[in-house]
Amino acid sequence: MAHLHLEGVVERCSTLGHIKQLQAHLLTSGIFHARPAFRARFLELCALSPSCASLPHALLALRSLRPHHRPSANDFNPLLRALASSPNPLSALSLFSRLLLSHSPPTSPRPDALSLSFALKACARSSSLAPALQLHSLLLRLGFSPDPLLATTLLDAYAKSGDLPRARRVFDEMPIRDVATWNALLSGLALGPDPRLALALFRRLRASLPSLPAREAPNDITVVAALSACALLGDLAEGAAVHRFARARGLDAGVRVRNALIDMYSKCGSLDRAVAVFRAIGDADRTVVSYNAVLLALATHGRGLDALRVFDEMPRKLQPDAVTYLAVLCGCTHAGLVDDGLRVFRAMRGVAPSMKHYGAVVDLLGRAGRLAEARDTIASMPFPPDAVLWQTLLGACKTYGDVALAELAAAKLAEMGSNVDGDYVLLSNVYAAKARWTDVGRIRDAMRSNDVRKVPGFSYTEVGGVVHGFVNGDTGHERWREIYRALEDIAARIGELGYEPETGDVLHDIGEEEKQNALYHHSEKLTIAFGLISTPPGETIRVIKNLRICRDCHLAAKLISKAYSRVIVVRDTARFHRFEGGECSCKDYW
């Protein structure tokens, strides 16, 4: 009865003051040390109760235990769980080490499956591979490997630490799996260096459905992971297939899947479908994440006015967060809505502007040619600017040919130790536009002496489920001769429409003909040419590029869309460009 009475006291504790009063009673009565089960319950309340959580106090109480008090894994587990979920998950690994090493055997407490799972969760959240390897070894020594829940947590730790081969090996060796196992591997692959592996695994799962036990049936987390992989790849066909699969199994009704669908359709270049998914979510079911997803979609597709309208539609019960404001600012930036963007920035409520928000304002002003205001914005920030802000300003200086401000931005970047190719290329572009070839040569020499190499441009498209990639001047594709013949046809057709090459961005001090040849073989032109010869007339050509599209390729894509009556969608590092009928969705403002 006394035990039941104490449990009731624990349940009624609602503040840290109550916790301390109870602990004083437990210590003076000897119950804290004499009753291990109740002590563990007390530590759990102290560490995990949302009403009176006091993790530091729980840690102090745990440290007060001595070997003769016979601490067990049950004493450590609530604190391991709390620390693994905290902003500093590595602290859980420190406590786990204490569980192993603080007392000498045989009094040392032995970790159980829960202890290991919380330690592995800490590895996953902190992307820490070395401790995950050590925990895997310990898990095998202690004989816990057949436990499917623990194996799934180990797989997740490997996947989130970037060791996908080990994650896959754990998966393949598991005698029993459930949907959480599939999800852990899918999520790791979807965010890894090759999300195509995630899609291959999803297709394997989909094909195995008739023979899979119910515990392995896909759920909404499975669908979200697959959609994330499609979004990263820009694979619209596969993304639409995942959507059909989710709809057929009733997994597309939840807001989490619908938010992922908005993101996927947007990043695959289908803005209309992204907006349609958003509109299909009931007003009462939309979350801030739903609004953020559609705002980012509208922003990256250059629909700034629509983004502002959706932002104004947000119900008062939903407080805009940092991503919301950043998405609206980006929408204003890409649409040239400078005054609207400044109004949104100055009216931010409940969110302190971060470096990214200031960066968006600098970009907003810089793209509009208001370089002095952009520079003043950097000077007015409450914290020192990072390299990205100076790079943003340098890019604007390149667009508007402001040599003095470009040199200032480049000097600031040099002071900060920035040594990326883009810094040099942008400044070199500024000099090249003014025909200052001596300065261009000086920049080129600096790149050589600092061993800085320009990132090569590449583009790719998908045709018939196969990805075809091209670099500038590529002759490695099996159909390269057909592609170059198509380029000749393109040149003739767009020439009739008045095409004049934009050679201003070519850095080298070479003749005009050589500059035109260099532009002629850019990767996006090769990719578009391949799309024209590989897809039926009228089919949309979708291109993904690792750099921002250059002015000449932008002009050429507009004219190609008109000459061949094709829609061409190009996703570069900054935004989407939809070319149709000789026009671009960016209205030549990017």
Same domain membership, residue 451 and residue 494: no
Same domain membership, residue 518 and residue 422: no
Same domain membership, residue 451 and residue 463: no
Check residue 127 and give its pLDDT: 92
Check residue 3 and give its pLDDT: 46
- If DSSP codes are grouped into helix, strand and coil, which group holds residue 498? coil
The residue range of the domain holding 517 is 458-584
CA distance 565 to 14: 69
Domain count, the chain: 3
Does some domain include residue 384? yes
Point out the domain boundary residue: 401, 425, 455. 455
User: Angle at which helices 36-48 and 55-63 pack, to 10 degrees?
Assistant: 150
Same domain membership, residue 447 and residue 464: no
Same domain membership, residue 483 and residue 579: yes
Point out the domain boundary residue: 455, 477, 510. 455
CA distance 157 to 30: 40
Check residue 102 and give its pLDDT: 56
Which amino acid, residue 94? S
Phi-psi region of 302 (alpha: psi -120 to 50; beta: other; left: phi over 0): left
Same domain membership, residue 464 and residue 577: yes
Element (H, E) at 471: strand 466-471
Does some domain include residue 151? no
CA distance 176 to 219: 18
| Separation in Å, CA 339 to CA 333, 336, 342, 344, 345 | 10, 9, 5, 9, 10
Does some domain include residue 185? no
Contacts of 462 (CB under 8 A, 6+ apart): 234, 235, 237, 468, 542
Check residue 246 and give its pLDDT: 97
Does some domain include residue 130? no
Point out the domain boundary residue: 427, 455, 483. 455
Within 13 Å of residue 155, how many CA atoms lie on the same side as its CB?
A: 27
Same domain membership, residue 464 and residue 567: yes
The secondary structure of residue 455, as a DSSP letter, is P
Q: Are strands 541-545 and 458-463 parallel, antiparallel or unpaired?
A: antiparallel
Check residue 42 and give its pLDDT: 74
Same domain membership, residue 531 and residue 434: no
Q: Are strands 583-584 and 541-545 parallel, antiparallel or unpaired?
A: unpaired
Does some domain include residue 441? yes
Q: Which parts of the chain have pLDDT scores under 70?
A: 1-35, 49-53, 66-69, 102-109, 146, 503-518
Does some domain include residue 331? no
Q: Centre a 10 Å sphere on the Cβ of residue 394 and count the other Cβ atoms it contains.
A: 26
Whole-structure pTM value: 0.82
Same domain membership, residue 512 and residue 419: no
Same domain membership, residue 480 and residue 433: no
Same domain membership, residue 357 and residue 386: yes
CA distance 566 to 297: 23
